[in-house]
């Protein structure tokens, strides 16, 4: 063996070790990135659910304080000074069914975990001005039915008082923090939840679906909603009188809540 053979063999062995180390490091990094991505998405989903819960509670509190639900905020009026404010009533009720959650009116952040504003649709009769402000009588009755049509599965739909939703990770049809409307998808259910379809009562909230090879299967919206009965209970709890039906000639305020102590 020549004197140079041993150093050359050592050099070759060293290069093999380096190559193996690089491969192992790459595998570890790929795994770490995958875990970090999963943790990030889980945190974003958690933040989104918290934002939806906060929005639902804020809307119920607004109804308990005002005897009615607020109107949506305009999704096309993106002036920073007024974006997020509830639209004004027209002839005593909301002119539009859906839009952006009126986060500024509700004094909440109103954004999901992906930095997009939440959307909001409402049964417009539940936004009516009070029929008698002096006696705190609402402009709707206990028989007022939900006018929204929320499809929650292929065979089941609901008629809630209101719906609040996030446009999900893909943000399809959502509005981001820069007030830019994100591109829509080919998914018909996500199209149904476009906040700019301001007169449409049809909405969708079902399990997420995704197919990398089919752009029509990209639904990831996340929603929350409240029934008309829950809404009516919140309004009565706020000290307003909700007539039992349209033919009622009188309305009795609920008794004040007694405090124990």
Collapsed DSSP state (helix, strand, coil) of residue 158:
strand
Collapsed DSSP state (helix, strand, coil) of residue 205:
coil
Question: Is the model's pLDDT at 40 over the cut of 90?
Answer: no
Quick check: is 259 in a domain?
no
Quick check: is 196 in a domain?
yes
Q: How high is the pLDDT of residue 202? A: 98
Residue pLDDT, tens place only, 206-258? 888 776 567 667 899 999 999 999 999 999 999 999 999 988 877 877 666 65
Count other Cβ atoms within 10 Å, centred on residue 151: 16
Q: How high is the pLDDT of residue 228? A: 97
Question: Is the model's pLDDT at 82 over the cut of 90?
Answer: yes
Quick check: is 111 in a domain?
yes
Rounded Cα–Cα distance for residues 119 and 175 (Å): 9
What's the whole-model pTM score?
Answer: 0.84
Residues 6+ apart with CB under 8 A from 179: 78, 80, 83
Q: Which DSSP letter does residue 223 get?
A: E
Quick check: is 224 in a domain?
yes
Residue pLDDT, tens place only, 97-132? 999 999 999 999 999 999 999 999 999 999 999 999
Quick check: is 157 in a domain?
yes
Residues 6+ apart with CB under 8 A from 119: 75, 98, 99, 100, 101, 164, 165, 166, 167, 174, 193, 195
The number of folded domains in the chain is 1
Residue pLDDT, tens place only, 135-193? 999 999 999 999 999 999 989 999 999 999 999 999 999 999 999 999 998 899 999 99
Q: How high is the pLDDT of residue 218? A: 84
Confidence of residue 13 (pLDDT cuts 50, 70, 90): low
Which residue, 124, 120, 140, is CA-closest to 90?
124
**Residues belonging to the chain:** 261
Quick check: is 261 in a domain?
no
Residue 184 vs residues 76, 118, 235: alpha-carbon distances, Å: 16, 16, 36
Confidence of residue 7 (pLDDT cuts 50, 70, 90): low
Quick check: is 248 in a domain?
no
Quick check: is 244 in a domain?
no
Domain that holds residue 186: 7-237
């Amino acid at each position: 063996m020549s004197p140079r053979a041993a150093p050359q063999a050592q050099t070759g062995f060293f290069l093999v070790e380096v190559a193996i180390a690089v491969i192992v490091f790459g595998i570890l990094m790929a795994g770490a990135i995958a875990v970090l991505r999963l943790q990030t998405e889980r945190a974003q989903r958690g933040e989104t659910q918290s934002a939806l819960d906060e929005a639902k509670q804020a809307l119920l509190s607004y109804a308990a304080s005002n005897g009615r639900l607020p109107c949506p905020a305009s999704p096309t009026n993106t002036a920073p000074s007024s974006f997020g404010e509830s639209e004004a009533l027209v002839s005593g009720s909301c002119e539009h069914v859906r839009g952006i959650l009126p986060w500024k009116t509700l004094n909440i952040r109103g954004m999901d975990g992906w930095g997009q504003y939440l959307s909001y649709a409402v049964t417009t009769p539940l936004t009516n001005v009070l029929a008698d402000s002096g006696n705190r009588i609402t402009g709707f009755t206990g028989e007022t039915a939900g006018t929204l049509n929320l499809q929650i599965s292929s065979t089941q739909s609901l008629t809630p008082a209101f719906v609040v939703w996030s446009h999900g990770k893909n943000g399809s049809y959502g509005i981001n923090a820069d007030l830019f409307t994100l591109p829509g998808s080919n998914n018909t259910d996500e199209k149904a939840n476009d906040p700019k379809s301001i007169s449409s009562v049809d909405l969708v909230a079902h399990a997420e679906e995704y197919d990398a090879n089919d752009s029509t299967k990209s639904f990831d919206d996340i929603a929350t909603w409240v029934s008309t009965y829950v809404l009516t209970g919140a309004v009565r709890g706020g000290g307003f009188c909700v007539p039992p039906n349209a033919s009622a000639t009188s309305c009795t305020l609920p008794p004040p809540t007694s405090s124990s102590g």
